[in-house]
Structure formats: structure tokens, C-alpha cells
Amino acid sequence: MTSVGAMSHLQAPGAPPSPETPTLLEQFKEVAARYGERAITEVPSTLRKLRLLFVVASVALPTFLLGVLVILAMALHVHF
């Protein structure tokens, strides 16, 4: 999944490095920047998913616990 522009700096093995050939550190920086940008673009959708999870949990968990208490009260023959 490399683009044509990314392949332009490749040389034949043993050839002397040209001035425009990026160093290994520069290549690492480029890859880190690319993946960093991808990660940053995922943040808003991840936050939306977390918000939905919290909304669902804030309704479902108390409802479930109330149901457990009602069943427990019925099993122990407690009248409110």
C-alpha cells in the first residue's frame, strides 16, 4: 500500500545515496506522522461511541438493579 511518490526514493542496492534519499529516521518520522494522523481522525467517532455507551449504561444498569431488587424482595416476601 505504498504510493508512487513513496517509491520514488528507492535505489538499486549498493548505489551511493542521493541527496534526496530520506534517512531511516526520516522514514520513521514519516510513518509515525501518517499513523498519528489516522489515530487523530478516529478520535471523534470513538468519543461518539463512548457517549452512546454511557447513555445506554446509565439507563440499563439502574433498571437492571431495580429489577434484581424487586425479584429479591418477592423471593423474601417483603412488602413495600
Rg (CA), the chain: 29
pLDDT in tens, 20-29: 778 899 999 9
Helix (H, G, I), strand (E, B) or coil at 77: coil
Residue ranges per domain, the chain?
22-75
Q: Which grid cell sits at 24?
A: 531511516
Per-residue burial over 54-76, b = 16 or more CB atoms within 10 Å of its CB, e = otherwise? eeeeeeeeeeeeeeeeeeeeeee
What pTM does this model have?
0.51
Dihedral pair phi/psi, residue 57, rounded to 5°: -65, -35
Which pLDDT score, from 0 to 100, does residue 78 have? 81
